[in-house]
Amino acid sequence: MRYRVLGGTGIEVSVHCLGTMMFGAVGNADHDDCARIVHAALARGINFVDTADMYSAGESEEIVGKALRGRRDDVVLATKVHFPMGEGPNRGGNSRRWIVRAVEDSLRRLGTDWIDLYQVHRPDHTTDVEETLAALTDLVRAGKIRAFGCSTFPAEEIVEAHHVADRRALGRFRTEQPPYSILARGVEASVLPVCRRYRMGVLVWSPLASGFLSGRYRQGRPVDLGAGRPALTPARFDPALSGNAAKYAAVEDLVTLAGEVGCTLPQLAVAFTAAHPAVTSAIIGPRTMDQLDALLAGAELTLDDAVLDRIDEIVPPGVNLYQPDGVWSPPSLTDPSHRRRPLPDRAAA
């Protein structure tokens, strides 16, 4: 297993990060089986584990906590805050009120006294970023977290956060966790260059493009849109939709390339993300032991310029062939009132 320094933190982490979104009710509900996956990953040299409070409503954190008993000092542990964790107001977001409550809940579920990397899962335009950074800075000073970062932030939000941190003498985001794959290269345009400029570590999620680069979905083969990942977003996998033609065509070209390289398509996909100079770790999120073994079989794979040039020909740099799940959309796009002037008042008679 290869290791890299996580941005400017001085913390060394494995190039493969074990993602645990599939631990719990959403994926693998067998806690003992999930623990075996964690232990196998550690045995193979992975020392970086990523989870979030909202994964299976906290169940993932509980599984990870149990799996790491007696191994906590050997692991760089990351989790996240932002998404609602219950009914009613003030049970989510990036406010100080919620962050100081949520971190205690995560510490309890994880069974630990500290979190190595605490990440803000998405932007929150109802909260000043200064308030968020101040709360996180206080958690570092209190010893509850070692460093903090952001996840799926657009480049302009990252820049603003660093500007505020400098102006107010606050701690700054040390990492970013964006979606990145051969089929979703949009972050290459600005997010990854900004992260390099600020010496931020980058751990990328969905390197298999939400399963599209697993090798299971191929051109000319029937797809069961009622099972597995296609059941969640059938429009993304339906080969009858013209918008998916480019993805299926790209997969065929990538399968051919993987065969020439001597690896599987998933191994090629993960190695591609790890080749970018801004990327520290690629998150792999296995649901089963077989999936973990298949991905780690290619842990030492590195791609030379000739292979990367071929990938650029298949999917050009900066191009998204699909919109990754869960990508944050700014209110300027989601709220019509941000794009429409109010009607003028009726003139007085």
Task: Name the residue among 150, 157, 145 with its Cα closest to residue 174.
Answer: 150
Beta strand 201-204 with 281-284 is parallel
User: Is residue 184 within 8 Å of residue 209, measured between CB atoms?
Assistant: yes
User: Is residue 281 within 8 Å of residue 13, measured between CB atoms?
Assistant: yes
Active-site residue, 55 included:
yes
Q: Which two tokens stand for residue 333?
A: 């796009």
User: Is residue 81 within 8 Å of residue 120, measured between CB atoms?
Assistant: yes
The angle formed by the CA atoms of residues 59, 232 and 244, to the nearest 5 degrees, is 140
Phi/psi class of residue 10: alpha, beta or left (left: φ > 0; alpha: ψ in -120 to 50)?
Answer: left
Q: Annotated catalytic residue: which of 3, 55, 118, 180? A: 55
The SS3 call for residue 88 is coil
Rounded distance, CA 349 to CA 19, Å? 65
235, burial (CB in 10 Å: exposed 0-12, middle 13-18, buried 19+): exposed
Contacts of 42 (CB under 8 A, 6+ apart): 71, 74, 75
Contacts of 191 (CB under 8 A, 6+ apart): 153, 154, 155, 158, 176, 178
- Phi, psi angles (nearest 5°) of residue 312: -60, -30
Q: What's the Cα-to-Cα distance from 14 to each of 78, 184, 258, 275, rounded to whole Å?
A: 13, 23, 23, 14
- Phi, psi angles (nearest 5°) of residue 289: -65, -40
Rounded distance, CA 226 to CA 233, Å? 10
Active site members: 55
